[in-house]
Amino acid sequence: MVPLASLDAASIRDAYRRWAGVYDGVFGAISAPARGRAVAMVNSLPGRDVLEVGVGTGLALPRYSADKRITGIDLSVEMLEQARRRVAREKIRTVQALLEMDAEATEFEDASFDTAVAMFVASVVPNPRRLLAEMRRVVKPGGDILFINHFAAPGGPRWWIERAMAPASRALGWHPDFAVEALFIPADLAQVTLRPAPPFGIFTLAHLPN
């Protein structure tokens, strides 16, 4: 596995402070189909209480079904402010709380949620496996953990592009060369279901039973 370039909380906050005002316009459209695929799976799963890790500007919040209760967390104050404005503007009633919190060390009690979903977050955090461990901790036994993310191509032209972009990780706020093995150990890979997500399968929906 290729080591990831260093990302820390400060560089992530800086990146998303820059992105907050334009995130929806720049990334919202291309991520919408994959985001919708993840929320549709959340809506199909049993259980009411959902943790959205890295809620960002709240792009997914209007899509949850009325029977879900959503808690969103993010490290970026600026992104959270955009999400709160969205909730107020669109009168979204499923949202219970939007909290500034480190996804790798949350303040929730064990087994607080039926489902945890992280959309385009795994390649942002400093320690992806610590993120997964924390999501496992806060999800009830028998619950569900979901990721929607870009994972690096195993080879070919896209692999070379991703490797060329890797030194810009700190400025981008994410890892273009993020490998699935950076998130899942072999035991996880034996259990996780990976499905390509639109557009063109460049994103992947991962479902891991807890």
Domain-wise residue ranges, the chain: 9-209
What integer pLDDT is reported at residue 12 of this predicted model? 56
Distances (CA, A) of 129 to 88, 105, 124, 137, 183: 34, 12, 12, 12, 5
CATH superfamily of 9-209: Vaccinia Virus protein VP39 (3.40.50.150)
What integer pLDDT is reported at residue 24 of this predicted model? 55
What integer pLDDT is reported at residue 11 of this predicted model? 57
What integer pLDDT is reported at residue 3 of this predicted model? 33
pTM of the full structure? 0.82
- Tens-level pLDDT at each residue, the chain (210 residues): 333 344 556 655 655 555 545 555 556 677 788 899 999 999 999 999 999 999 999 999 999 999 999 999 999 899 899 999 999 999 999 999 999 999 999 999 999 999 999 998 998 888 999 999 999 999 999 999 999 988 875 655 444 344 444 443 334 344 556 889 999 999 999 999 999 888 767 788 999 999
